[in-house]
Every structure is written in structure tokens, then in C-alpha cells.
Structure 1
Amino acid sequence: MAQPEIQIPEGTPVEETPAGDVEMEEEVEESILPDLEPELPVRTTFLDYLKSPIIELAVGSGDHQTTLWAHQAMLIKSPYFANLCAQFPEGATQRRIDLPTEDLAATGSVLEYLYNNEYFPRRLSSAKDSALEPDPSLPSPDTTGLALLKHARIYTLADKFQLPALKSLAHAKIHRTSSTAKGEIAYARYVYKETSKDDVTIRRPVAAFWATRSHVLRHDAEEEFKAMCLEFPQFGFDVLSLVLDQKEKKTEARHVEPSVVPGSAHGRKRARVSQG
């Protein structure tokens, strides 16, 4: 059945919504919209990095000084460089940072990492045990430890520039680099000279390497090993401590009683010095 049509006589006033109510509804809608549509983060493109000011890096000193250039937006990924760049006057046309004591090749590798998140020689795959691509600039076999020293210098620079990811990467590449006994000694000397004694991340593997292989490697580089122990007594102590730890563990595993008991009369006596 059709519904009866309702007709409104002409002249009858139509009820209008008060203007104030309309404004109030609009205000409510405006207050809700920002919550419904949050602002998206602005993506920084590679082009944005290239638009940033150029920083002059003076690496080395005297006749050995070399000038490198890098974009400020790349450099400030490092808190060390971010602090230095923050000191430049607003709108400064010349921006220079002096690095008089830094190694040129290692500094170049740090810059390579800041731009590419990697440095040469790169890993051949993303696997944890991936080997490194060959470096034709290094001798083979590496009797000088140049390959190990390359990564060790990058490790110490990454520590100074406060780049923990680069520090970890350099440390991982150290363990993927082959060398000889003399090369390992050159690397150990650098580590014990240039790193903090509290940095067990890089020092302990060096001592452990020699502790587990000293009976073989010592004969391949006996003079170098002796000089290393005399120059850095801490190295000799660390190696000896690990060797003794290994012996104690083997003794405990075999459940053998120690041959010398403190305070016992059965302990080995000191050899008598002949008077004749």
C-alpha cells in the first residue's frame, strides 16, 4: 500500500539549525582529523645527502698531509664528526676538520663505509662465515700482517668516531683474514699498542690465538714472539694465563689430583746448588 504523501502548506517556516551548532560541529571535526591522519616521517634521500655542505678533511701532517672531502650529512652519522660540524658558524663557506694523527687509508675506508655501509674488501655473501673478496694490493702470503693491520686500524678509528656497527664489521673481517706467524705478531703488536687494555673484544682473541697455537707459531717467529713479550708484558701474561687455564681444565676433566699440594712435605723440592 502506498504511503500517504505529506504536503507542507506554502508559507510554513522551515526550522533551521542554529549557526552556532554548525560551527561547533565543524570545530569538533577539525579537532578529530589530525588524530585520524598522523603525519608521515619525511624520507631522507641520497640526493639530500649530496645537497649538504662539503667538509674538508686534512688527514696527516706536514709533507704527508692529504686533503679529503665529504658531505656533512654523511659525516654526521658519526657522533664524533657531528659534534665538530655543530661548531661551524651558520652559513660558513669553509668547513675544515684536521685529523693530523689518523691513518689515510683507514680514514678513506671509514668514509667509504659512511657512504655505502661497507668497505673494501667486501664480504662475498651475507652469510656470517662468508669469505672476503681478494685484495690484489696485499702480498700473498701476507708475512707482514698488512691485511690484519688494515682492519685493525679501521677498528680503532671506528671506536674513536663512535661507529659501533663499523667497529663490529672490522672485527668480523679480522677473523676472516689469513696471515702467517710473523704477520700475526705484527697485528698483535698493533693491538696491544693502540687499543685500551679494557678492550677485551679485540685483545682476548689475539691472546687466545697465540695461547692455542704458540707451540707451533713460536718456532716460525721465535725472535718476534720473544720481542713482543718483552715489549708488551701484558701480552705475555695474557697468553700465559690462557695456557694455564687450558691445562687446569684438562686436569679437571681427567679428575687427576694435583702433583703439588700447598704446605705438603711431598711437594717437589728446589734443586740444591752444587758447592763443588
Structure 2
Amino acid sequence: MADPEVRVEATPTEDTPADDVAMADDGDEAEAKAGDGEEVSTLPQAEAPKRATFLDYLKSPMVELVLGTGSDQAVLTAHQAMLVKSPYFADVCAQFSEGSKRRIELPDEDLNATGSFLEYLYMDEYFPRRLNSHKDSPLEPDDSVPTPDDSGAALLKHAKVYTIAEKFGMPALKSLAHSKIHRATSTAKGEIAYARYVYDKTSASDETIRKPVAAFWATRSHVLRHEAEAEFRAMCLEYPQFGFDVLSLVLDMKEKRGERHEGSSQQPPASGRKRARVSQG
């Protein structure tokens, strides 16, 4: 059995003032807590970053966006603090010098798609909006879309927002635009116009938007025969990759149907056990 521990309490003396004794006791207590598994930090606590308010955005400098050329040129304006949410514009705005004119040339960008991009920066949505938060929510009516939509206006509106979101580095907007594409209605000719835009403006590796286009036409041979055969032929000649993608999906579906048919028509495998021979003796 160990000898009992003898603890000598510190008492203030002329050489050790009372305040020093108290500090020593506090240090012992902190070490004890640390020994019990509690982390004791002596570093100063970092202040939480200040939350940006909407007023802070509005106080930031205005930036001009110049779209188009010649008589088709249009100038849009936006607050710089809003624009820099986009990595693309953050890089451009970082090059502005103090007191210089904040002007960005975008001669090749679509005016309506850029307007939708800016609307999203300010509102986290763009017209036409979803009617509710449900994943299958329809979109609010859009009077600018003709009926019937042979031009593919509804589909093209969101496809252009999708491509501009890709360029400006806005994945959330890109996802939103893609979800609206699947809520838009159109005719066969409108779908071909949309397919032409997708295969012209998007990367060959972007299966997110290209694969559904090819799948749409791979499962609608009756539509091709009666509503858009000429347009489909022209599309295949203009964009051979589109024709190949559709054909590949058609052959895949045919192969799967053949495998299911063969599987259902096969007789059950016979037992490997031999029947006992009957003795003829």
C-alpha cells in the first residue's frame, strides 16, 4: 500500500505575493482539466466574419456589361458585389484600377440569357419561375412562348441560360436551368431546334444535357416518321455525333429487348442427373 500523499498548500509570503499564488492555482486547475481530456486553448478566438447585407451589395460600384455590336448593342448594369459571385466576373473585376470606368465587353453573349443570369444573381431565381418548391413543380406561364412552340423558344431559353452559367462558373444556376428544360413543352420541330443548339454550343463530354436529347429521339421513331423526318435528317447530316448518339441508344435498346426475349423463350435446363438404366437381364 502506497504512502499517503502529502500536499503542501502554497501560502503567500513576502517572496510570493497572494496574486502569484492564485495564478499558480489557476494554472494547476487548467492542467487538470486538460488532463481530463478537455482541450484548453490559449489562442485568441477569431471573430466571425461579418455577414454581407443586401445594402452592402447595393453600395458597391456599378459595372456596365456591353452586349452585342453595332445597332444590336445593349448596355446592362449591375453592382460589382453581385457580379463577383461569378468566378468569371471576379477575375475581370479584380483588374479594375481605382477610379477607372468599370466596363466589360460581352459581344457574343445572348441578351435575354444574360438578363436571366443577372436576375438570378439578385433573386436566386429567374423567369419563368417554378410555381412551388416541389421537384416536379411546373413553371409559371410565359406569354413570350408561341403556341404551338415549333421554334423551341421555351427549351432554348433555358438552354442558353445553361450555357452562360457554364461559362460564368455558376453550377447552381446551371442545375436550375437544366431542371427547367425538363419542365418545358414543345413540338417535334421545336425539339429539333433545341437539339441543334445543344450539339452546337455544348461540349461533347457534357452528357448531362446531351444524353437526354439523344434519348428523346431514340424512343420516338413514330414522331420522326410523321412530324419531323426532314428536320431530323438535316440534323443528322449537320451534326453526325447527334445521329451516332441516337443510333447507339436505339441499338442498345434493341439488344436489351433481344436478351429479354431470348431469356423468356429458353426451356428450363434439363437435370444433369442420368436416369437409372433398367436391367434387360
Aligned: 1:171 with 2:178: yes
What's the secondary structure of 1:230's corresponding residue? helix
Letter aligned with residue 95 of structure 1: R
- 2:86 pairs with 1:78: yes
Letter in 1 for 2:58: L
- Residues 1:95 and 2:95 aligned together: no
Deviation at 1:221, TM superposition (A): 1.3
Which aligned pairs between 1:192-211 and structure 2 lie closer than 5 A? 192-211=199-218
Q: Which 5+ residue runs of structure 2 have no aligned equivalent?
A: 1-11, 31-39, 265-281
Assess if the C-alpha contact under 8 Å between 2:188 and 2:223 holds in 1: no
- Say which SS state the counterpart of residue 220 (structure 2) adopts: helix
Q: CA deviation at 1:140?
A: 1.6
Contact 1:208 1:239 in 2 (8 A): yes
Distance 1:228 1:33, change over 3 A: closer
Counterparts of 2:184 and 2:88, CA distance in 1: 29
RMSD: 2.5
The CA deviation at 1:216 is: 2.2
Offset, 1:15:
6.4
For 2:260, the equivalent position in structure 1 comes to: 253
Shift of the alpha carbon at 1:23? 11
CA contact (8 A) 1:52 1:73 kept: yes
Q: Which runs of 5+ in 1 are unaligned?
A: 1-13, 258-276
**What is the aligned counterpart of 1:130 among 119, 137, 141?**
137
TM-score after normalising by structure 2? 0.79
CA distance in 2, matches of 1:136, 1:240: 36
Q: 4+ residue stretches of structure 1 with deviation over 4 A?
A: 14-17, 22-25, 32-38
| Equivalent runs, 1:1-276 vs 2, <5 Å | 18=17, 21=20, 38-89=46-97, 91-255=98-262
Identity across matched positions, percent? 68
The SS at the match of 1:206 is: helix
The aligned amino acid for 2:133 is: S
Following TM superposition, by how much is the alpha carbon of 1:18 offset from its aligned partner in structure 2, in angstroms? 3.1
Which residue pairs with 1:266 in the alignment? none
